[in-house]
Amino acid sequence: MALDHKSFSLEIKAVNDDGFFSGYASVFGVVDSHGDIVAKGAFSASLAAWAAKKRLPSLLWHHKLDEPIGVWTVMREDDVGLYVEGRLSQKVQRGAEVYELMKIDAVSGLSIGYVTREDSYDRVTDVRTLKQVDLWEVSPVTMPSNEQARLTGIKSRDSAETKNAIQALINSMRSK
């Protein structure tokens, strides 16, 4: 069975020094460069099946089955799309490399590996709607298909702590 791949921009909310990152792997209702739209609810049955197994799909580098780079810790659908949280392994060479590339915004996309279970095709608009998919893996990639969700910021735990410490110092000085 061959897997389809669908790329999306990864809107990263944070990348911490421990390799944690979060964002959206898929955004609903957006026509991508392949003429596909992912419908709300497309992942729900697959995510339920993964939950029953007490696992989540693989976190791979560019769909390479021999290059796992970490683990997904959260995957869920919300009103926006497929929200994900993951942790890159800092002790795996490729995981450490991807972490560094995310920090400098060189890698900001995700691509899903899936099998289509239900779809529809509109011949007038030439758009396929993915209604139900079996999600197998999600990979960080350099060239996503969907430009809608872009990298919004990267922060490390240290920089957040430093910023908070500086603000506390400023507040302390103002109160004297």
From the candidates 58, 111, 139, 145, give the one annotated as an active-site residue: 111
**Is 137 tagged catalytic?**
yes
**Is 63 tagged catalytic?**
yes
Task: Name the DSSP letter for residue 156.
Answer: -
**Tokens 């419908």 — which residue?**
39
- Tell the burial category of 81 from Cβ atoms under 10 Å away from its Cβ (0-12, 13-18, 19+): buried
From the candidates 26, 63, 108, 139, give the one annotated as an active-site residue: 63
User: Count of residues for the chain?
Assistant: 176
> In terms of DSSP bridges, do strands 58-60 and 68-77 run parallel, antiparallel, or are they unpaired?
antiparallel
Task: Name the DSSP letter for residue 142.
Answer: S
CA–CA gap between residue 173 and residue 138 (Å, rounded): 48
From the candidates 9, 11, 137, 139, give the one annotated as an active-site residue: 137
**Is 85 tagged catalytic?**
no
Local structure of 157: helix, strand or coil = helix
Active site amino acids: 63, 111, 137
